[in-house]
Amino acid sequence: MRIPSTVDKGLQSTGFSTIRYGLALNLLSIGRLKFESYEVENIRPLVTASPVFSRLLTELGEQKLAKVIGVTEMITGSLIAARPFAPKASALGSLGAAGIFATTLSFLATTPEAWQERRGEPKLSLAGQFLVKDIVLLGASLLTAAEALRGQP
């Protein structure tokens, strides 16, 4: 059975819109949370164990570092959402999001709390399970960057 091209194009367009605005909403929401004290506590083990972020943590302190991360996430989400009127800015935001998600995935390697070490073979802890979803978000960011670079409405 062959699917009509209008259905195919409609599904593709709806899929890209869902991915794009889902990414934007995630980044805007998570970025806003970085201004809450409990989120500062939540990211503490991640930033403390990261070679890059631990230096920034020493220089800025927990609250300021969390706010810098939050503002970065919110700007990135806003750029992604700008696709209808600024495709190149949206592509830039999507590439920025890919960088954000690649960075958070690096926490799997630097954060001991990401793994349950007493289980024989390595198994993800709750923190690790939270981080591993960023593989999908990284892929979504790359797809939306490519689509925005095509620049078609």
Position 68, amino acid: V
Counting every residue written for the chain, the total comes to 153
From first to last of its 153 residues, the chain has per-residue pLDDT tens of 677 778 778 898 899 999 999 999 999 999 999 999 998 898 888 899 999 999 999 999 999 999 999 999 999 999 999 999 999 999 999 999 999 999 999 988 888 777 777 666 678 877 788 888 999 999 999 999 999 998 755
Determine if the pTM surpasses 0.85.
yes
CA separation for the pair 55, 13 (Å, rounded):
42
